[in-house]
């Protein structure tokens, strides 16, 4: 897949609603968004982050200033043409309910009059990319999809015409935290492949820290407070406001900079259904372990079994295990991993890959150790 990324420049951009002398929603904003990077606009409500993003594709027209994409002024072409070259993802997704998944994804390529064969191939490619099996999902209607599936189709749809620029407005805001973590991880993996320029809006500082190559913190009235890498912002906030916005728990926030894969994983004692209980008891004893992790044939976790529950004869069965232990992925930030484990009151989190296969374990202790000032290299 070709990857093309644009440079976006905002030069002294302002937006005022209402008559002259009224309040500014965005105030003399100048920003350069490098090609192939994710820049996150973040700030409290009323800071103009969404307004700024929408001025890039002219859903909102700036009052003054200039916005260029690869040097071309956005006002120099018809808005409709401009928008067909920019991918757009919003929180409620906005999938067209009367079109199938394939038809939804194909919208922009069709608007650009791609040949039908090319459209079809591209749709398949994208559905694969967002890990929705084309044969299963192609002809489904949005009403039949789950929240996470809809989000994925939304991302595929935005990528369809291979735009050099993506605008994303709280795209993962409407789903539960665990699904959000997964979707964020998937998007980061995707970005590693396609390397698009992405302008991402969120109100969640932790999401900003996790996703961004660069963060632009905006204050009320669309004033730029700081524009830097996440690490720099956490280490050297430029003002009181930034320090307060990022949060007093800046140390804790740095846990968002590192991911599970940055720490060494320990390996559990594993077992499969069908193993004789006596044998498993023995293995646990000789390893001085109290619990084993039960896996299915695809190496996916079924739950933990305690040594104490392994009395009697016979084979280990799937429902011997206590299910529901939370799982995290290599791309999950340490902060999210810690949060997930603490809220389930477990010491060990099971790390799985994108197919839910077990990779290893991570412990609360190991994460807490990184808080002790030793900086972790992301």
The site for other proteins (CB under 8 A) is made up of: 57, 59, 80-86, 88, 90-100, 107-108, 111, 140-147, 157, 167
Signed CA dihedral, 347, 352, 357, 359: sign only:
negative
User: CA angle at residue 208 from 95 to 360, to 5 degrees?
Assistant: 90
Nearer to other proteins, 166 or 224 (CB): 166
Using the minimum distance from each CB to other proteins, give the nearer residue, 43 or 142: 142
Nearer to other proteins, 85 or 189 (CB): 85
Q: Both tokens of residue 181?
A: 């973590």
Question: Between 51 and 57, whose beta carbon lies closer to other proteins?
Answer: 57
Sheet holding 197-202, edge to edge: 86-90, 165-169, 197-202, 38-42, 214-219, 223-228
C-beta of 23 vs 112, nearer to other proteins: 112
Give the Cα separation of 70 and 208 in Å (integer): 25
**Taking Cα atoms as reference points, which of 16, 18, 14 lies closest to residue 224?**
14
Report how far residue 93's alpha carbon sits from residue 117's, in angstroms, rounded to the nearest whole number: 26
Q: How far is the CB of 244 from other proteins (least distance, A)?
A: 32
Structure-token match 């197919």, residue found: 355
Minimum Å distance from CB 175 to other proteins? 12
The SS3 of residue 370 is helix
**String of DSSP letters for 206-224:** HHHHHH-SEEEEEETTTEE
Strands 197-202 and 165-169: parallel
Nearest CA-CA partner of 202 in 226, 189, 184, 188: 184
Closer CB to other proteins, 57 or 226, in the complex: 57
Min dist CB 72 to other proteins, Å, is: 16
Residue written as tokens 């084979």? 315
Least CB distance to other proteins at residue 59 (A): 6
Contact between 302 and 323 under an 8 Å Cβ cutoff? The reply is: yes
SS3 at position 299: coil
CB 15, min distance to other proteins, A: 17
Query: Cα–Cα distance between 228 and 236 in angstroms, integer?
Result: 10
State in angstroms the smallest separation of the CB of 94 from other proteins.
3
Distance between CA atoms of 195 and 177, rounded to whole angstroms?
Answer: 25
The smaller minimum CB distance to other proteins, of residues 86 and 258, is found at 86
- Which of residues 95 and 224 has its CB atom nearest to other proteins in the complex? 95
- CA-wise closest residue to 183 among 331, 300, 299: 331
Q: Shortest approach of other proteins to residue 185 CB, angstroms?
A: 22
Using CA atoms, how far apart are residues 336 and 145, in angstroms rounded to an integer? Answer: 26
Based on CB atoms, which residue is closest to other proteins, 142 or 301? 142
Tokens representing 90?
Answer: 């919003």
CB of 364 to other proteins, least distance (A): 33
Nearest approach in angstroms of CB 84 to other proteins is: 3
Bridge partners for 153 per DSSP: none
């Amino acid at each position: 897949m070709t990857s093309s990324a644009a440079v976006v420049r905002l030069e002294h951009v302002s937006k005022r609603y209402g008559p002259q002398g009224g309040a500014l929603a965005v105030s003399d904003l100048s920003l350069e968004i490098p090609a192939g990077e994710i820049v996150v606009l973040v700030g409290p409500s009323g800071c103009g982050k969404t307004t700024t993003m929408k001025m890039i594709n002219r859903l909102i027209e700036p009052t003054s200033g200039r916005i260029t994409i690869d040097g071309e002024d956005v006002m120099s072409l018809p808005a409709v043409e401009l928008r067909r070259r920019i991918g757009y993802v919003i929180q409620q997704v906005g999938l067209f309910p009367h079109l199938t998944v394939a038809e939804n994804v194909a919208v922009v390529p069709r608007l650009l009059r791609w040949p039908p064969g090319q459209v079809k191939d591209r749709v398949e490619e994208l559905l694969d990319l967002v890990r929705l099996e084309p044969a299963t999902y192609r002809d489904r209607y949005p009403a039949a999809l789950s929240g996470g599936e809809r989000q994925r189709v939304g991302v595929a749809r935005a990528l369809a015409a291979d735009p050099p620029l993506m605008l994303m407005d709280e795209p993962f805001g409407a789903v539960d935290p665990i699904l959000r973590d997964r979707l964020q991880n998937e998007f980061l993996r995707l970005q590693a492949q396609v390397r698009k320029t992405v302008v991402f809006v969120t109100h969640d500082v932790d999401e900003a820290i996790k996703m961004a190559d660069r963060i632009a913190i905006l204050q009320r009235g669309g004033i730029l407070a700081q524009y830097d890498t996440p690490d720099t912002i956490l280490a050297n906030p430029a003002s009181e406001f930034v320090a307060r916005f990022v949060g007093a728990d800046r140390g804790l926030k740095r846990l968002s900079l590192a991911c599970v894969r940055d720490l060494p994983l320990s390996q559990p004692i594993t077992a499969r259904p069908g193993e004789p209980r006596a044998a498993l008891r023995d293995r646990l004893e000789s390893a001085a372990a109290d619990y084993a992790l039960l896996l299915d044939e695809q190496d996916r976790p079924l739950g933990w079994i305690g040594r104490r529950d392994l009395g009697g004869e016979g084979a280990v069965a799937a429902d011997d295990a206590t299910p529901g232990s939370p799982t995290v992925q290599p791309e999950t930030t340490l902060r999210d991993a810690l949060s997930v484990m603490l809220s389930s009151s477990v010491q060990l989190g099971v790390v799985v890959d994108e197919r839910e296969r077990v990779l290893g374990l991570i412990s609360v202790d190991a994460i807490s150790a990184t808080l002790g000032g030793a900086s972790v290299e992301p």
